């Protein structure tokens, strides 16, 4: 047998050149082809590293000394960047992040999709890439008689206190701090995960970027929210923009934040926000894009690629609360949206009414089941829009698209690898990928969203 020994050993010091970044932002260097993962190292840097773990096909190393620095390296602005893990790229400046995301998109298209010369545009980034998140979900714990609210330290369940998060809307930071203070004042106990005791598990804040409306959600293990009436009085007084206070009960031993029971204890069931001209109602449990400013950029691109004249029938697969569908409906003859979560479809229908949109129809179900059925019934699309979760489209859906032959396919993706895989299938089925536009929805993280335009080739 010819078992190749790794070229490095534990505790060995090696000089390396960092050539790439992994999905979680670690640098990658190769020693005789053997990959080493090195946290806090950037592509283009050279460094002395110490090998700390050697596995079968790869290893991990610690950065000892950088011998050459990336021109994109910066000091991470967030003081808890290393402990938190919520961001992975703060040690790279924004220009470097955008270049890196474009390069990764190109490489994934070539490697997985065999699309070696597809046009991948420069990433559309934010002018100010900070404080973009419109939703905060902050775990609460007790320390020395007081409350802490912050984040789970990486790879642990210890909660570290945090007053602000640099990618969070500052309104949400203030809401969390104020609610924490009010809970503390009334001696409300925090949930203790180990003992499964105590009351408050999470404070959640949602913020309508355009409307300025705020929703506060307090998640407890207990059926009752202790001191409920005083809390309501003080929260409404301390946060004038609050429109809705919600109590959610989650009595399970689980990492899932929200439980099944949700009660509006003060104000409205919804807050509202706009993306472009379209108004959306957002409840405690609604899925809503977390970066509304960039969502507009993404949807504008999707709309441009759909190239609608008002005569088209469009199918929007994986439509969520109908965000893209309602955007498209303004310029199409008819839009059919399909989505697996029934509550999201209820939201989509409500949002259509809210915007006086009458040419959008929504169905609950799996896209790969509903759309083939529609096709059998004679419903076809001129333009197909898909926006699947990270695992990409089901093959049955791709096959139906290939049979149905919509003139254009607009593929919105949050997973470059599955996008590449699915584009390959569509290319083999008669489509051509014209261009791909990455959009930075999550600055300082390694996530990359993109929209691809495909056209049916002349036959």
Identity of the residue, 149 or 338, whose beta carbon is nearer to ligand SAH in the bound complex: 338
Per-residue contact flags (x/-) with ligand SAH for residues 346 to 375, judged by CB under 6 A: --------------------xxx-------
Q: Is 184 annotated as a binding residue?
A: no
Identity of the residue, 63 or 404, whose beta carbon is nearer to ligand SAH in the bound complex: 404
> Which residue has tokens 């990959």?
35
Identity of the residue, 216 or 367, whose beta carbon is nearer to ligand SAH in the bound complex: 367
Identity of the residue, 62 or 447, whose beta carbon is nearer to ligand SAH in the bound complex: 447
Taking CA atoms, 30 is separated from 1, 71, 329, in Å, by 25, 21, 50
Residue range at the interface with ligand SAH (CB under 6 A); choices 35-43, 91-99, 202-210, 317-325:
317-325
Please give the distance of CA 449 from its chain centroid, rounded to a whole number: 9
Q: Which residues pair with 245 in a beta bridge?
A: 216, 266
Which residues within the stretch 274-293 sit at the binding site for ligand SAH (CB under 6 A)?
Answer: 287, 289
Q: Is 339 annotated as a binding residue?
A: yes
Which of the following is catalytic: 78, 319, 414, 448? 414
Q: How far is the CB of 102 from ligand SAH (least distance, A)?
A: 22
Decide: residue 218, CB within 10 A, 0-12 exposed, 13-18 middle, 19+ buried. Answer: buried
Q: Residues touching ligand SAH: how many (CB under 6 A)?
A: 19
Out of 23, 389, 403, 457, name the contact with ligand SAH by CB under 6 A: 389
Q: Is 366 annotated as a binding residue?
A: no
Q: What is d(CA 138, CA 152) in angstroms, rounded to the nearest whole number?
A: 9
Q: What is d(CA 24, CA 191) in angstroms, rounded to the nearest whole number?
A: 30
Active site residue 84: no
| Number of Cβ within a 10 Å radius of residue 171 | 19
Which residues within the stretch 321-340 sit at the binding site for ligand SAH (CB under 6 A)?
Answer: 323-324, 338-340
Q: How far is the CB of 88 from ligand SAH (least distance, A)?
A: 21
| Number of Cβ within a 10 Å radius of residue 311 | 9
If phi > 0 it is left, if psi is from -120 to 50 it is alpha, else beta; for residue 31 that is beta
Q: What is d(CA 262, CA 351) in angstroms, rounded to the nearest whole number?
A: 21
Per DSSP, 205 falls in state E
**By Cβ distance, which residue is nearest to ligand SAH?**
320
Q: Which residues pair with 337 in a beta bridge?
A: 316, 362
Q: Any idea which residues carry the catalytic annotation?
A: 414
The contact set with ligand SAH (CB under 6 A) reads 287, 289, 318-320, 323-324, 338-341, 344, 366-368, 387-389, 394
């Amino acid at each position: 047998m010819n078992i190749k020994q790794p070229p490095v050993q534990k505790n060995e010091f090696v000089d390396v050149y960092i050539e790439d970044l992994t999905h979680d932002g670690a640098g990658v260097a190769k020693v005789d082809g053997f990959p080493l993962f090195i946290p806090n190292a950037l592509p283009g840097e050279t460094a002395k590293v110490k090998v700390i773990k050697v596995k079968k096909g790869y290893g991990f190393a610690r950065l000892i000394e950088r011998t050459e620095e990336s021109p994109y390296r910066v000091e991470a602005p967030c003081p808890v960047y290393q402990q938190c893990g919520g961001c992975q790229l703060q040690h790279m400046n924004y220009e470097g992040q955008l270049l890196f995301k474009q390069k990764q998109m190109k490489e994934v298209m070539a490697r997985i999709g065999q699309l070696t010369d597809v046009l991948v545009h420069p990433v559309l980034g934010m002018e100010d890439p900070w404080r973009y998140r419109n939703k905060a979900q902050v775990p609460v714990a007790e320390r020395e008689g007081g409350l802490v609210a912050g984040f789970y330290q990486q790879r642990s369940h210890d909660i570290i206190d945090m007053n602000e998060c640099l990618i969070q809307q500052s309104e949400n930071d203030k809401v969390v701090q104020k609610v924490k203070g009010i809970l503390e004042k009334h001696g409300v106990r925090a949930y203790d995960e180990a003992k499964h005791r105590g009351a408050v598990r999470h404070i959640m804040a949602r913020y309508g970027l355009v409307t300025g409306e705020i929703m506060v959600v307090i998640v407890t293990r207990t059926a009752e929210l202790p001191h409920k009436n005083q809390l309501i009085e003080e929260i409404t007084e301390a946060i004038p923009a609050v429109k809705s206070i919600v109590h959610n009960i989650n009595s399970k031993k689980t990492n899932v934040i929200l439980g099944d029971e949700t009660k509006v204890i003060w104000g409205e069931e919804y807050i509202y926000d706009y993306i472009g001209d379209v108004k959306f109602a957002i409840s405690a449990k609604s899925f809503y894009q977390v970066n509304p400013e960039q969502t507009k950029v993404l949807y504008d691109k999707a709309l441009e690629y759909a190239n609608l004249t008002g005569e088209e029938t469009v199918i929007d697969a994986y439509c969520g609360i109908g965000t893209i569908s309602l955007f498209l409906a303004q310029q199409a003859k008819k839009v059919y949206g399909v989505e697996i979560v029934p509550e999201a479809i209820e939201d989509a229908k409500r949002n259509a009414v809210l915007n006086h949109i009458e040419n959008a129809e929504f169905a609950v179900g799996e896209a790969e089941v509903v759309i083939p059925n529609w096709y059998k019934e004679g419903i076809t699309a001129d333009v197909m829009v898909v926006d699947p979760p990270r695992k990409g489209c089901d093959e049955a859906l791709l096959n139906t698209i290939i049979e149905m032959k919509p003139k254009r396919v607009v593929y919105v993706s949050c997973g470059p690898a599955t996008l590449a895989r699915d584009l390959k299938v569509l290319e083999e089925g008669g489509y051509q990928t014209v261009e791909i536009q990455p959009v930075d929805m999550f600055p300082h993280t390694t996530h990359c969203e993109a929209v691809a335009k495909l056209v049916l080739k002349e036959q």
